[in-house]
Homo-oligomer: A and B are copies of this chain.
């Protein structure tokens, strides 16, 4: 592949002149300037990002570390980051951690040696990343955590307003007349899961509704978790009439379990999820959800990184994105019968026969 030497030779100029033309680092007079540009065209020359990075002590790469691209919420986050990155001349290195902290560490350590412009991290868990981040900062590389935060995180961050989102969703259920509410949360060592539970609890407290511990189940952020914990919830007496799920995947599991038990959504049980994934639109009934923009999460993080790169060295920024309660067909007021007397599983079974 052609290199600068060859361009210099073709254009009959020196190495430095070629570099100056390519980087506008110094004015080059017209006859030579075009000769260089022509030679570049002819040879199809592209500067080696490797050599350039080594020399400049930084590359046009942005590292992105996420738990699992297969989780439906993350692709739009990645896409958001990539769009901003690409349009500014940066490229994304994508790393999945599978929520495995050791894999996270491997990526964190290795990515540094590519001298990336910055790093966007969706932490796999609550493990402290301060030490790693510090080592990046020393190299002048920005690190921004998004979606959830690791322990003691004091650097830049972009998250959704989980607490308010959960609060609004719960309040809506309460205003509809529900008094027997339950929630299925994601792993509580993740800050987003924890905050959503807090929002839920706050709304309950404000409405002077009590929350027995068994009405708040913790599980993984997936369909399977939602499914099995719903089976637990449906056996409780009194049976909950509304379930706030920690995310849409959990909500999907809730829906399946409810359907399978012979109960109906929303007549017997209302469901609200979190994330507002596309797949929530096509379920039956369609899923109400707290909408947060993954795409915006990504773009905001990338932009933050580029700002830092431009020299913004102000104090750490903690950007919190608003959420929006998106109502579809999975919520309704509790039925009269259920309000009058404490419902039992029997009642649900009976309804099935109807």
On A, residues with C-beta under 8 Å from B are 1, 44, 46-51, 53-54, 59, 61, 68-70, 72, 74-76, 78-79, 82-83, 86, 91-96, 103, 109-110, 112-115, 135, 138-139, 252, 255-256, 278-279, 282-284
CB contacts (< 8 Å) of A255 on chain B: these are 282
A sample of 8 cross-chain residue pairs with beta-carbon separation below 8 angstroms, ordered by A number, consists of A1-B138, A44-B135, A49-B114, A70-B79, A75-B75, A78-B94, A91-B110, A92-B93
Q: This chain: how many copies in the complex?
A: 2
Which of B47, B59, B86, B139 contacts A50 (CB under 8 A)? B59
Residues of B near A53 (CB, < 8 A) are 50
| Contact status of A82 and B59, CB under 8 A, knowing A113-B50, A255-B282, A282-B252 | no
A284: nearest chain-B partner, CB-CB: B284
Complex Cα distance A54/B114, Å? 12
Which residues of B sit under 8 angstroms from A69, Cβ to Cβ? Answer: 69, 75, 78-79, 82
Q: Give CA–CA (A61, B72) in the complex, Å.
A: 25
Residues of B within 8 A of A51 (CB): 54
A50→B92 contact, CB < 8 A: no
From A44, A68, A69, A78, name the one whose CB has the most chain B CB atoms within 10 angstroms: A69
B residues in contact with A279, CB < 8 Å: 278-279, 282
Q: Which residue of B lies closest to A111 (CB)?
A: B91
Q: For A283, what are the chain B residues with a Cβ–Cβ distance below 8 Å?
A: 282-284
Query: Complex Cα distance A286/B86, Å?
Result: 38
Using Cβ atoms and an 8 Å threshold, which residues of chain B touch A46? 109-110, 112-113
Report the separation of the CA atoms of residues A92 and B114 in the bound assembly, to the nearest whole angstrom: 13
Q: Which chain B residues border A49 with CB–CB below 8 Å?
A: 110, 113-114
With the chains together, A283 CA to B44 CA distance in Å? 50
Kindly provide the distance from the CB of A92 to the nearest chain B CB, expressed in whole angstroms.
6
* Closest chain B residue to A98, Cβ basis: B83
